[in-house]
Amino acid sequence: MGRIGKLTTAHGKITTPTLMPVIDPSDVILTPIEMRREFGTELVMTNAYLIMKYFGEKATKYGIHRILGYDGPIMTDSGGYQILRYGGVEVSPEEIIRYQDIMSPDIATILDTPTGVHPTKERAKQTVQTTVERAKQAVQLRSNPKVMWCGPVQGGLFNDLVAKSAREIGKLDYHIHAIGGPVELLEKYRYVELVDLVITAKQNLPLQRPVHLFGAGHPMMLALSVAMGCDLFDSAAYILYARDGRYLTSEGTFHLADLSYFPCECPVCVENFPQKLRHMPKEKQIKLLAIHNLHVTFGEIRRVRQLIIEGKLWEHVQLRCRAHPRLLEGFRRLLEYTNFIERFDPVTKKSTFYYSGGESVGRPEVLRHRRRLENRYKPPSLPTLAIMPAFERERPKLSKPERTHLVRVIPPFGVIPEELEEIYPLGQTRAPKKLDPEQIKTATESLRRFLKLYGKCYKQILLFNNEHHWSNSLIKACNSVVEKLKIIELYKIHHRKIK
Ligand SMILES: [Zn+2]
């Protein structure tokens, strides 16, 4: 579901997925212009509620772009997060809509009522209702055509409420949708619930609208979030972590105090070493850590974009989710939604399908092959079916090739009829020859289904035993499938090892 998009704003085009560094108007460590120069930042984010507190009418008089000294795209958040953290804000929903409308950011956000992760269902229901009501009211209040509006989805951990919230807000005139509530889930590494939240929202939102995942700016989980179809990410993490001496990497977070080396290639890490940074004045140390944190995060965004183009995002997610067991848990949850994801997965890709561990059998390509074999396939009318548990496309010697239909059982896909073997990705897959249990399970399950559906179309079924040491386990498994089905006459023939 990961996608490259173009978002046109009043101050320029943005390529998504992208990261919006959050600018705290009261304490600017790096200006938006520095960020653009250093990291190629396309969009920055600031908080309309805090702007109102610090600048008041000055911001409505001069506009947000002059206040931040930046002529590129700016998004404003409205204070919903402050409600969640501090229990309330001293501004009404109408005020904050009008305020943003006048100071004219490129993207503005309504004041929603965050559900969070703790409330009762009754309270959660109320937050969804209030947010939808405010979203409806905001549509009436808006008057500045230059501003695009973001309508947040709420509902927290109640999937039915998230679905309802997404459906309701998706019907309204909004340009972008934000998924609220993940901050608390991210802080506690609750990735399973994050996956449920995001996928439920995506299943119910208009798919053409960009989706912003609130507070998800850690490079470790960007790939997973993009794979779920999120397009915009905000990062306050770069600076919050830096203040705390925390050093972001795509593999997780380190503490400056614990580092002997910098595992990174950015200018900060090449020119310094941890010992040196630890002895710097605090402000300088924070700034350098913040610069590093943004470098790795933008680096990951560029990597993810490139891998989307190459059709290799899935393999990258699989790799990234090895960084933490909870992340792996989240990724495994995502596999439970493969049914939905398969609709968005390109039927052909530029790249080879690389098998990179047990989760690869849960890939959309594997599911698609199984479905198509069951729903669209018709075997040729030949009397003999020859089944060959195999890995490579060796050609067995058949006594009557013109009367025989050859199908290979190749993990992870399973049954691949000979006439389909050039279809992507069946002929463009690389997998290790030492099979793992998941590969054998999906391959033999595929054979079982195939024989159940089409076994009666043949008069005779042959099962090859080609004695390759690496496919012994597969041959055994295929044997037991064929024997259990007790279909017609079964001949087992031994095939010479092919050099
Ligand atoms: Zn670095």
Q: How far is the CA of 390 from the centre of ligand 1 (A)?
A: 46
Identify which of 418, 404, 386 has the alpha carbon closest to the alpha carbon of residue 493. Answer: 386
Q: How far is the CA of 257 from the centre of ligand 1 (A)?
A: 15
Helix count (H) and strand count (E) of the chain? 21, 19
DSSP bridge pairs for 108:
149
Question: 410 with 373: CB under 8 angstroms?
Answer: no
Q: How far is the CA of 177 from the centre of ligand 1 (A)?
A: 32
Q: How far is the CA of 455 from the centre of ligand 1 (A)?
A: 59
What is the rounded CA–CA span in Å between residue 398 and residue 326? 50
Question: 242 with 210: CB under 8 angstroms?
Answer: no
Q: How far is the CA of 251 from the centre of ligand 1 (A)?
A: 13
Question: 400 with 476: CB under 8 angstroms?
Answer: no
CATH (one of 2.60.15.10, 3.20.20.105, 2.60.40.10, 3.40.50.1000) for 5-341? 3.20.20.105
Q: How far is the CA of 80 from the centre of ligand 1 (A)?
A: 32
Question: 458 with 487: CB under 8 angstroms?
Answer: no
State residue 43's pLDDT score. Answer: 96
Q: How far is the CA of 267 from the centre of ligand 1 (A)?
A: 6
Q: Where are the alpha helices (DSSP H) in 142-281?
A: 159-170, 182-187, 191-204, 219-227, 237-243, 267-271, 274-278
Tokens of 262: 């910098």
State residue 499's pLDDT score. Answer: 31
Q: What are phi and psi of 64, to 5 degrees?
A: -65, -30
What is the rounded CA–CA span in Å between residue 84 and residue 47? 14
State residue 150's pLDDT score. Answer: 96
State residue 69's pLDDT score. Answer: 93
Residue 202: CB partners within 8 Å, gap ≥ 6?
A: 1, 166, 211, 228, 229
DSSP bridge pairs for 21:
235
State residue 85's pLDDT score. Answer: 66
- Angle at which helices 219-227 and 313-320 pack, to 10 degrees? 140
Q: How far is the CA of 310 from the centre of ligand 1 (A)?
A: 26
State the catalytic residue, choosing from 77, 112, 234, 345: 77
State residue 468's pLDDT score. Answer: 60
Q: Would residue 71 show up in a list of annotated catalytic residues for this protein?
A: no
Q: How large is the C-alpha radius of gyration of the chain?
A: 27
Residue type, 61: K
Residue 459: CB partners within 8 Å, gap ≥ 6?
A: 383, 384, 488, 489
- Digit-by-digit pLDDT tens for the chain (499 residues) are 999 999 999 999 999 999 999 998 888 889 999 999 999 999 999 999 889 989 999 999 999 999 999 999 999 998 776 766 666 677 888 999 999 999 999 999 998 888 888 889 999 999 999 999 999 999 999 999 999 999 999 999 999 999 999 999 999 999 999 998 788 888 889 999 999 999 999 999 999 999 999 888 899 999 999 999 999 999 889 999 999 999 999 999 999 999 999 999 999 999 999 999 999 999 999 999 999 999 999 999 999 999 999 999 999 999 999 999 999 999 999 999 999 999 999 999 989 999 999 999 999 999 999 999 999 999 999 999 988 887 766 677 778 889 999 999 998 999 999 999 999 999 899 988 888 899 999 999 999 999 989 988 888 888 887 666 567 788 888 888 877 765 544 444 444 333 3
Domain boundaries, the chain: 5-341, 380-494
Q: How far is the CA of 291 from the centre of ligand 1 (A)?
A: 8
pTM of the model: 0.92
State residue 496's pLDDT score. Answer: 39
Q: How many CA atoms within 13 Å lie on the side-chain side of 269?
A: 20
